[in-house]
């Protein structure tokens, strides 16, 4: 097992824990983490890419669902316990889940240099993206890294919807405030990668402010499954990938 090292050294020497949060409940797409996608459960896609990267000291799956735990363990992930019910609610913050996993892991296996949060709803995450996140993190010396995608909306179309369903364009002052909050290219967090130090996480935040952006321009890789429509897109992509591997 890798020993804790100093940030700024060779990325292969960093001791990084991957945490994959996968609770059983899902209102929009029930049982999505174990649904078959391209011939294997959704969560297995993330476990395989994490293990295949070779960058992690362990890949820990945090779940409250026995079926998810069984599948994850059989796929090579560490599943040391079932997550407490109080950390598996619809409104449970991700930071609480990560800190719970980190506290356990460091208590048993020793300190780590960083933690990478990998959501199982991003099945097409590439090993190359994981590697690039490591490189950015290493160069930034402790500043968090988050994967983002170019935003689909543009400033001229920004507006707001009121509680009765009416859409209003932002007025001049509101547009200026929005621009001041986000200069440069508009982007959105896509959920592929969150990479931070234990100190950042223990301070109560997933990311430092500011943090380094890992820009993902590949729409397919950035697919994040939250709805049935997202699932249908993912099914098509998985089907095409299966055809390409066979061909």
- 46 and 164 housed in the same domain: no
94 in the same domain as 23: yes
Judge if 67 and 175 occupy the same domain: no
Whether residue 1 is contained in a domain is answered as no
Percentage, residues of the chain above pLDDT 70: 80
Residues 181 and 198 in one domain: no
- Say which residue, 52 or 188, is predicted with more confidence: 52
CB count in 10 Å sphere of residue 165: 6
Find the range with the poorest average confidence among 115-129, 141-155, 176-190, 217-231.
176-190
Look up the pTM and report it.
0.84
Residue 5 confidence class, pLDDT cut points 50, 70, 90: very low
Tokens at 22, concatenated: 């996968």
pLDDT digits (tens, 9 = 90+) for 142-162: 899 999 988 765 544 456 666
Q: Which has more confidence, 39 or 171?
A: 39
Residue 225 pLDDT more than 90?
Answer: yes
Strand partners, 101: none
Task: Work out the pLDDT band at 104, boundaries 50, 70, 90.
Answer: very high
CA–CA distances in Å: residue 80 to residues 30, 117, 177, 200: 24, 17, 46, 24
Q: What is the pLDDT of residue 210?
A: 87
Residue 63 confidence (pLDDT): 98
**Residue 167's domain spans which residues?**
152-185
Decide if 160 is inside a domain: yes
> What are the pLDDT digits (tens) for 174-193?
666 655 555 555 678 899 99
User: Is 114 inside any structural domain?
Assistant: yes
Let me know whether 158 and 212 are in one domain: no
Domains held by the chain: number: 2
């Amino acid at each position: 097992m890798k020993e804790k090292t100093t940030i700024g050294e060779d990325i292969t020497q960093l001791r990084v824990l991957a945490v994959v949060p996968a609770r059983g409940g899902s209102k929009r797409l029930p049982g999505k983490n174990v649904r078959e996608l391209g011939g294997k459960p959704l969560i297995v896609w993330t476990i395989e890419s994490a293990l295949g990267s070779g960058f992690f000291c362990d890949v820990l799956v945090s779940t409250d669902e026995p079926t998810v735990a069984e599948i994850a363990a059989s796929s090579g992930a560490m599943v040391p316990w079932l997550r407490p019910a109080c950390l598996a609610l619809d409104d449970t913050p991700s930071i609480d889940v990560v800190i719970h996993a980190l506290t356990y892991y460091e208590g048993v296996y020793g300190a780590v240099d960083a933690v990478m949060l990998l959501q199982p709803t991003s099945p097409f995450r590439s090993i190359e993206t994981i590697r690039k996140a490591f490189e950015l993190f290493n160069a930034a010396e402790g500043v968090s890294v988050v994967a983002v995608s170019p935003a689909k909306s543009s400033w001229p179309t920004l507006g707001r919807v009121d509680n009765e369903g009416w859409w209003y364009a932002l007025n001049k002052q509101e547009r200026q405030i929005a621009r001041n909050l986000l200069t440069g290219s508009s982007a959105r967090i896509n959920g592929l990668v969150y990479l931070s130090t234990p100190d950042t996480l223990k301070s109560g935040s997933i990311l430092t402010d500011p943090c380094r952006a890992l820009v993902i321009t590949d729409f397919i890789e950035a697919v994040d499954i939250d709805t049935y429509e997202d699932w249908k897109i993912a099914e098509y992509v998985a089907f095409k990938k299966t055809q390409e591997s066979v061909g």
